[in-house]
């Protein structure tokens, strides 16, 4: 038999429905909180990744900066610097270098790390992570630099630290050619030595003067035989026209100037003298790597001059030496075709002209220096 609900049970379904709606609402709100939190986490992760990418790009930019300028006094936080150089904009002594990559910002600081003279300094963040074996500097001109790069994207920040060391490329710090050098007229080369695998010719009063500011008497780890003077001089595997005894050495002198110490010298002792720089910088794969680097440096400064052959007049309107040149400047004349007649003519100006600074590279040709 059907019976009616008692009065107190009427409307129970509505109450249950309301309770269910409330429960579903609470659950839905909870789900929305979880989804919103996940979205925020994704946004933060993406922002953090972009900041990390920017920081990594800053590390690469600092690496390129050190390739161009690795003078330790530019990043050593000393004021004033003993060599008169000011701190670089990249130095950790200041605010560092601010760079923008595709809208992302990064701050990069470079710090020179002093050599570690004692074991405890190796783990000191202000010292190099390598212990000195002797002296006050590392061998091969090695210097350590710490790079701190901080990338920013929105509110996300990421920091990347790296330590790089630089060493001497072995590039000759003077005039060097695997061919011949000719200096004409009243031209005078002052303060640097000349080195050639070919012959060196001085014509019409041309001269080499001053003190060799880099190699001195030429004795170092590459060349055990010193000269009796520190004057700028000439070293030639061929012959030297106008050679000054005791200062210049070639294939006819004793000691004999040789390309490599393994080659025979003269009969008397000392028997041979050689280049005061890495012989590997003259030929082979190491030389090609150095040339590639120097070529890129010249391209970056707008002083890369390719030529199909013939004569290039350095210093002319077509092939100028950069007016803002420094000791880091590279001028590269690249003869793209072979031939013994390829030549760079460099017309040296008067004493009133500003000094020419930097490195001249002539590939595939000879060098002749004359005076206006």
Among all chains, which residue has been given the structure tokens 């590997």? Answer: 280
What local confidence, expressed as pLDDT, does residue 148 receive? 95
Q: How far is the C-alpha of 222 from the C-alpha of 218, rounded, in Å?
A: 9
Q: What is the mean pLDDT of the chain?
A: 81
Q: How far is the C-alpha of 178 from the C-alpha of 197, rounded, in Å?
A: 5
pLDDT in tens, 184-235: 777 778 888 999 989 999 888 888 999 998 889 999 888 999 999 999 999 9
Average pLDDT in the 33-55 region?
66
What local confidence, expressed as pLDDT, does residue 211 receive? 92
What local confidence, expressed as pLDDT, does residue 339 receive? 66
pLDDT in tens, 348-365: 665 546 567 788 888 888
Higher pLDDT, 283 or 244: 244
pLDDT in tens, 8-30: 555 556 556 666 655 565 565 55
Q: Is the pLDDT of residue 1 over 50?
A: no
- Please say whether the beta carbons of 104 and 54 come within 8 A: yes
- Copy the structure tokens of residue 333: 């004349």
Among all chains, which residue has been given the structure tokens 């000439």? Answer: 234
Q: How far is the C-alpha of 348 from the C-alpha of 100, rounded, in Å?
A: 42
Q: Is the pLDDT of residue 38 over 60?
A: no
pLDDT in tens, 296-325: 888 887 889 998 888 888 878 888 888 877
- Number of Cβ atoms within 10 Å of the Cβ of 205: 13
* Contacts of residue 128, Cβ cutoff 8 Å, sequence gap at least 6: 113, 114, 115, 116, 122, 138, 144, 165
pLDDT in tens, 146-192: 999 999 888 888 899 999 988 766 667 778 887 888 887 777 788 88
Q: Is the pLDDT of residue 82 over 80?
A: no
What local confidence, expressed as pLDDT, does residue 234 receive? 96
């Amino acid at each position: 038999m059907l019976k009616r609900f008692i009065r107190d049970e009427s409307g129970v379904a509505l109450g249950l429905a309301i309770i269910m709606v409330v429960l579903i609402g609470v659950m839905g709100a909870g789900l929305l909180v979880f989804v919103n939190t996940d979205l925020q986490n994704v946004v933060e992760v993406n922002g953090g990744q972009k900041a990390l990418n920017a920081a990594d790009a800053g590390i690469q930019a600092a690496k390129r900066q050190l390739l161009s300028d690795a003078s330790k006094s530019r990043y050593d936080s000393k004021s004033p610097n003993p060599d008169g150089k000011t701190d670089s904009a990249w130095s950790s002594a200041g605010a560092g270098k601010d760079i923008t990559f595709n809208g992302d910002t990064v701050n990069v600081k470079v710090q020179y790390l002093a050599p570690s003279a004692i074991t405890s300094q190796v783990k000191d963040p202000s010292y190099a992570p390598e212990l000195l074996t002797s002296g006050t500097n590392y061998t091969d001109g090695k210097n350590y630099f710490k790079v701190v790069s901080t990338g920013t994207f929105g509110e996300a920040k990421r920091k990347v630290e790296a330590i790089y060391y630089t060493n001497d490329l072995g590039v000759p710090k003077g005039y060097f050619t695997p061919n011949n050098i000719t200096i004409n007229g009243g031209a005078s080369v002052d303060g640097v030595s000349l080195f050639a695998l070919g012959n060196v010719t001085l014509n019409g009063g041309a001269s080499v003067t001053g003190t060799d500011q880099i190699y001195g008497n030429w004795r170092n780890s590459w060349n055990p035989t010193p000269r009796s003077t520190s004057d700028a001089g000439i070293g030639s595997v061929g012959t030297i026209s106008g050679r000054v005894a005791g200062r210049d050495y070639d294939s006819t002198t004793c000691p004999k100037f040789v390309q490599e110490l393994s080659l025979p010298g003269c009969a008397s002792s000392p028997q041979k003298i050689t280049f005061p720089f890495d012989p590997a910088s003259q030929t082979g794969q190491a030389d090609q790597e150095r040339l590639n680097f120097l070529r890129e440096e010249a391209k970056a400064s707008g002083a890369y001059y390719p030529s199909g052959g013939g004569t290039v007049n350095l210093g002319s309107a077509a092939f100028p030496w950069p007016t803002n040149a420094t000791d880091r400047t590279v001028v590269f004349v690249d003869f793209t075709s072979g031939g013994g007649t390829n030549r760079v003519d460099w017309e040296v100006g008067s004493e009133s002209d500003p000094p020419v600074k930097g490195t001249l590279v002539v590939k595939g040709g000879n060098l002749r220096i004359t005076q206006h």
